[in-house]
């Protein structure tokens, strides 16, 4: 079989009229030469020789600067693109310290087990060349129990993840005396991953870690690494609460990259409906996979990973045979499945992989030729990370962003300068979120007694300690607060979600039952309701039973030509107003709300055509959430019928939720919206946007501050959309918002801005 190379593929994409007419931007990022420096003074000669044996005879400029700052004793945060050699920025100074003093220790934190295990092999390679007895171990949930004692006593470098640090190391610090008494360095890799809920939790885990280090008399230096974000120094300092030196002078080389924006064709211009991004990706994938070009496909959900994997398996097997393997990769796969896929990608045994953002991190999957991103990931930073998985050093590569009908995707497709010229987004954390902070103060009290006057994050820590004493969890004796409860607090606190209660998925197709995956509690009603089609590694399973109380789903393999999509009904009540002010003559608020959510029904969606072929009812318990929200009133003098008002508010709500990730670097699932035609609280038409995490993580507060600019851009997006009466690219499809929904949404926004603001809007 004859395959064409990447250059010929690029020419083929350019010359195809069917493809080129849907390309909204083709950016060629030129090849970049590397900037090099010698090893800085103070590095042990044996380390330099070991690296030279691995072919590393000089450093990139950013590596040199980062190592030099660490040797001076400064905390550093290194911000350079994917595959720029950030690991040497921490491995060299840490190995240098341990070679010079074998009593010293280091702790490496990676956001996932996969990434930590991946980094161990890289570190082992240097240590083997070094021929020194530097013991390096991974300590996570998969670590053999017999090996754990040896790691605690002998490990020079302990590699773990925040979850294991939180529940497996800090609560048992008395078993880790050797580590904490000699801890010289702490590495926190991929810090851009620590945003929102997860980042707010991790910031508190680091507070606990520093508290324990202080108890043992150590003050370790921090080395942080990040993908390109707008506020790396600020994020590192918010996470660690120390000062940092920023290193962002990337000196690594890179090959020429072709970055293509592809907007699927419109199939109904009046309704503004475009062809499915998944189906277009499957069509375009043929040009890559048929020519043996190793490609990674990124999608935004676990369900779309499995749908796309099914499509590609059929595509590849029919044309070039089953030897050319395609697979999926996402959370919920068992650890051994993920390790096998990672190894297959490195060895080139897997031709194509479809992933959520799980492979966006720096896991070593080898040098891929192309990346196809199905749907805008929600942030500039994340898009560059996914595009960066293709093309290493001097190798030419292609990245293709296939946009959906989503308003945010359409904004990016039609405003490519925003993406290429705008700075990356900021990452936010809110470690003093009361629910998160309260739980970590409990964990900290379990680990070490609190002293009178000691602060943990907030000035009034004493109030939390007093409350815990009233709950009989603490006892105040003289000037100390001692943990008295039998509860092990860390065990019931998940760093990544509102609940630590995952649902287990069991395949009962054969007499011997088999666990095939797991899902968090809040996703389970949407994906594992009875009769749902659950897709795993391209195979279809139908949910036979969902045992909600025991958090178990029983599934059987199914031979069907559809998948399912569940609908969620949401209601909101205001509990407390934290702040209110004027917004161009109307009121805006920030406050605490109660959300009640119920999965009511599901639709059957046919593969390949994506048509709705049936539906069914869902009977599951209602879920309740208390969180924070930003909301604003619609002017009471709007002259509209209730039906028109409802459609217009729905349209504005749709755009608000979809455009918000431009302002806040958050997962789209971190926020949601709801509207009331007549709110029981404001007694006026009101639109709410709320954080989808208990207690809120600060997103609503940011929207409250940015509300005017946000509404200006909502107006501009709706006004500039070429559809007649509404479409998925602006307010939503006309069937959803009605024939007048688009125009009525524009009318409402113009009343809000009033005449004085219209000039400003037109200039924006």
Cα 71 to chain center, whole Å?
32
For residue 620, give the nearest of 531, 693, 499, 555 by alpha carbon: 531
Which pLDDT band holds residue 270 (cuts at 50, 70, 90)? low
Q: Which of 22-31, 376-385, 408-417, 570-579 has the highest mean pLDDT?
A: 22-31
Average pLDDT estimate for 127-143: 85
Q: Look at residue 610 in the predicted model and tell me its pLDDT.
A: 66
For residue 357, give the nearest of 376, 339, 336 by alpha carbon: 376
Sequence-distant (≥ 6) Cβ neighbours of residue 763 within 8 angstroms: none
pTM for this one? 0.74
Strands 450-451 and 350-355: unpaired
527 near 520, Cβ under 8 Å?
no
Instruction: For 53-103, write each residue's pLDDT tens digit.
Output: 989 999 999 999 999 999 999 999 999 987 788 999 999 999 999 999 999
Is pLDDT at 364 greater than 70 in this prediction? no
Provide the b/e sequence for 610-627 (b: ≥16 CB within 10 Å). eeeeeeeebebeebebeb
Q: Look at residue 726 in the predicted model and tell me its pLDDT.
A: 80
Which pLDDT band holds residue 696 (cuts at 50, 70, 90)? confident
Sequence-distant (≥ 6) Cβ neighbours of residue 500 within 8 angstroms: 491, 492, 493, 494
Strands 586-606 and 623-633: antiparallel
DSSP state of 491: G
The Cβ of residue 292 has, within 10 Å, a number of other Cβ atoms equal to 17
Is pLDDT at 300 greater than 70 in this prediction? yes
Is pLDDT at 443 greater than 70 in this prediction? yes
Which pLDDT band holds residue 410 (cuts at 50, 70, 90)? confident
**In the chain, pLDDT over 70 holds for what percent of residues?**
92
Instruction: For 617-640, write each residue's pLDDT tens digit.
Output: 888 888 788 888 999 998 877 888
Sequence-distant (≥ 6) Cβ neighbours of residue 347 within 8 angstroms: 366
Sequence-distant (≥ 6) Cβ neighbours of residue 632 within 8 angstroms: 583, 586, 587, 588, 589, 686, 687, 707
Average pLDDT estimate for 16-38: 93
Average pLDDT estimate for 558-573: 85
Is 186 in a helix, a strand, or coil? strand
> Which tokens go with 487?
């509860």
Average pLDDT estimate for 127-156: 85
Q: What angle do CA 716, 718, 722 make, to 5 degrees?
A: 110
Which pLDDT band holds residue 666 (cuts at 50, 70, 90)? low
Window from 162-166, 232-236, 638-642, 682-686 with minimum mean pLDDT: 638-642
Average pLDDT estimate for 137-159: 85
**In the chain, pLDDT over 90 holds for what percent of residues?**
41
Which pLDDT band holds residue 267 (cuts at 50, 70, 90)? confident
Structural element, H or E, at residue 91: helix 86-100
For residue 94, give the nearest of 136, 150, 147 by alpha carbon: 136
Instruction: For 180-239, write each residue's pLDDT tens digit.
Output: 999 999 999 989 888 877 888 999 999 999 999 999 999 999 999 998 888 899 999 999
- Integer CA distances (angstroms), 94 to 109, 134, 250, 499, in order: 14, 11, 21, 36
Q: Within 13 Å and on the Cβ side, how many CA atoms surround 271?
A: 11
How far apart CA 167 and CA 443 sit, in angstroms, is 9
Mean of the per-residue pLDDT values of the chain = 86
Is pLDDT at 756 greater than 50 in this prediction? no
Which pLDDT band holds residue 608 (cuts at 50, 70, 90)? low
Instruction: For 328-362, write each residue's pLDDT tens digit.
Output: 988 777 777 888 888 888 888 899 999 988 777 66
Q: Look at residue 665 in the predicted model and tell me its pLDDT.
A: 60
Tell which wins on pLDDT, 119 or 225.
225
Which pLDDT band holds residue 321 (cuts at 50, 70, 90)? low
Is pLDDT at 669 greater than 80 in this prediction? no
Instruction: For 369-405, write each residue's pLDDT tens digit.
Output: 899 999 988 778 888 888 988 876 678 899 999 998 8
- Integer CA distances (angstroms), 359 to 231, 561, 591, 726, in order: 23, 28, 36, 35
DSSP state of 170: G
The Cβ of residue 719 has, within 10 Å, a number of other Cβ atoms equal to 15
Instruction: For 29-56, write each residue's pLDDT tens digit.
Output: 999 999 999 999 999 999 999 999 989 9
How far apart CA 468 and CA 440 sit, in angstroms, is 12
Is pLDDT at 114 greater than 70 in this prediction? no
Window from 130-144, 453-467, 473-487 with minimum mean pLDDT: 130-144
Is 710 in a helix, a strand, or coil? helix
Q: Look at residue 357 in the predicted model and tell me its pLDDT.
A: 80
Q: Look at residue 515 in the predicted model and tell me its pLDDT.
A: 87
Q: Which residues pair with 480 in a beta bridge?
A: 451, 477
Q: Look at residue 271 in the predicted model and tell me its pLDDT.
A: 58
Tell which wins on pLDDT, 670 or 11.
11
How far apart CA 44 and CA 719 sit, in angstroms, is 63
DSSP state of 362: -
Is 663 in a helix, a strand, or coil? coil
Average pLDDT estimate for 307-317: 86
Detail the DSSP E strand segments found in 7-102: 23-29, 36-37, 59-60, 76-79
Which pLDDT band holds residue 366 (cuts at 50, 70, 90)? low
Average pLDDT estimate for 538-548: 87
């Amino acid at each position: 079989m004859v395959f064409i190379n990447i250059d010929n593929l690029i020419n083929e994409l350019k010359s195809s009229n069917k493809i080129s007419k849907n390309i909204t931007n083709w950016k060629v990022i030129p090849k970049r030469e590397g900037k090099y420096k010698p090893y800085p003074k103070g590095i042990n000669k044996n380390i330099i020789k070991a690296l030279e044996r691995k072919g590393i005879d000089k450093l990139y400029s950013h590596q040199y600067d980062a190592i030099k700052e660490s040797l001076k004793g400064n905390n550093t945060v290194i911000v350079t693109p994917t595959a720029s050699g950030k690991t040497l920025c921490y491995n060299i100074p840490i190995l240098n310290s341990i070679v010079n003093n074998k009593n010293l220790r280091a702790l490496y934190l990676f956001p996932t087990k996969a990434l930590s295990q991946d980094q161990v092999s890289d570190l082992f390679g240097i240590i083997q060349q070094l021929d020194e007895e530097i013991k390096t171990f991974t300590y996570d949930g998969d670590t053999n129990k017999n090996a754990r004692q040896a790691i605690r006593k002998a490990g020079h470098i302990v590699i773990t993840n925040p979850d294991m640090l939180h529940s497996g190391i800090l609560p048992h610090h008395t078993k880790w005396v050797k580590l904490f008494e000699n801890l010289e360095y702490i590495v926190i890799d991929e810090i851009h991953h620590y945003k929102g809920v997860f980042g707010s939790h991790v910031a508190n885990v680091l507070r606990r870690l520093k508290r324990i280090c202080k108890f043992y008399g150590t003050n370790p230096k921090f080395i942080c690494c990040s993908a390109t974000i707008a506020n790396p120094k600020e994020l590192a300092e918010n996470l660690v609460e120390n000062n940092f030196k920023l290193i962002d002078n990337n000196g690594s080389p890179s090959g020429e990259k072709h970055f293509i924006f592809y907007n699927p064709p419109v199939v109904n211009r009046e309704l503004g409906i475009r062809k499915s991004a998944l189906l277009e990706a499957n069509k375009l994938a043929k040009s890559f996979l048929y020519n043996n070009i190793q490609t990674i496909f990124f999608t935004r959900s676990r369900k779309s990973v499995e749908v796309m994997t099914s499509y590609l398996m059929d595509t590849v097997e029919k044309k070039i045979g089953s030897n050319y393997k395609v697979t999926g990769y996402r959370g919920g796969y068992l650890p051994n499945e993920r390790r096998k896929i990672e190894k297959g990608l490195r060895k080139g045994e897997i031709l194509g992989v479809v992933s959520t953002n799980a492979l966006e991190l720096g896991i070593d999957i080898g040098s891929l030729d192309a990346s196809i991103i199905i749907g805008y990931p929600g942030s500039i930073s994340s898009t560059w990370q996914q595009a960066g998985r293709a093309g290493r050093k001097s190798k030419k590569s292609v990245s293709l962003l296939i946009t959906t009908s989503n308003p945010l995707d359409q904004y990016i497709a039609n405003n490519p300068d925003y993406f290429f010229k705008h700075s990356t987004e900021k990452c936010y954390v809110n470690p003093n979120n009361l629910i998160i902070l309260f739980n970590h103060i409990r964990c900290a009290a379990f680990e070490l007694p609190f002293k009178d006057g000691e602060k943990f994050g907030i000035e009034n820590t004493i109030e939390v300690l007093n409350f815990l004493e009233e709950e009989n969890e603490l006892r105040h004796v003289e000037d100390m607060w001692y943990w008295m409860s039998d509860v092990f607090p860390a065990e019931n606190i998940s760093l990544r979600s509102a609940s630590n209660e995952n649902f287990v998925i069991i395949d009962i197709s054969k007499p011997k039952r088999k666990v095939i995956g797991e899902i968090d509690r809040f996703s389970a009603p949407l994906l594992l309701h009875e009769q749902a089609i659950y897709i795993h590694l391209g195979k279809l399973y139908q949910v036979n039973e969902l045992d909600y109380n025991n958090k178990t789903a029983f599934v059987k393999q199914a031979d069907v030509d559809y998948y399912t999509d569940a609908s969620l009904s949401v209601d909101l009540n205001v509990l407390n107003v934290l702040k209110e002010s004027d917004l161009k003559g109307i009121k805006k608020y920030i406050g605490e709300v109660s959300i009640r959510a119920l999965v009511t029904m599901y639709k059957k969606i046919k593969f390949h055509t994506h048509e709705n072929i049936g539906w069914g009812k869902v009977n599951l318990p209602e879920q309740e959430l208390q969180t924070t929200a930003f909301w604003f009133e619609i002017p009471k003098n709007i002259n509209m019928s209730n039906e028109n008002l409802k459609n217009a508010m729905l349209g504005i709500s749709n755009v608000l939720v979809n455009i918000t990730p431009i302002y806040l670097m958050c997962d789209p699932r971190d926020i949601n919206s709801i509207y009331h035609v007549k709110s029981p609280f404001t007694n006026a038409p009101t639109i709410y946007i709320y954080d989808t995490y208990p207690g809120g993580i600060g997103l609503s507060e940011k929207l409250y501050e940015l509300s005017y600019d946000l509404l200006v851009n909502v107006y501009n997006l709706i006004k500039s959309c070429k559809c007649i009466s509404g479409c998925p690219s602006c307010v939503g499809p006309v069937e959803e918002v009605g024939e007048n929904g688009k125009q009525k949404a524009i009318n409402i926004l113009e009343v809000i801005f009033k005449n004085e603001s219209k000039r400003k809007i037109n200039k924006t």
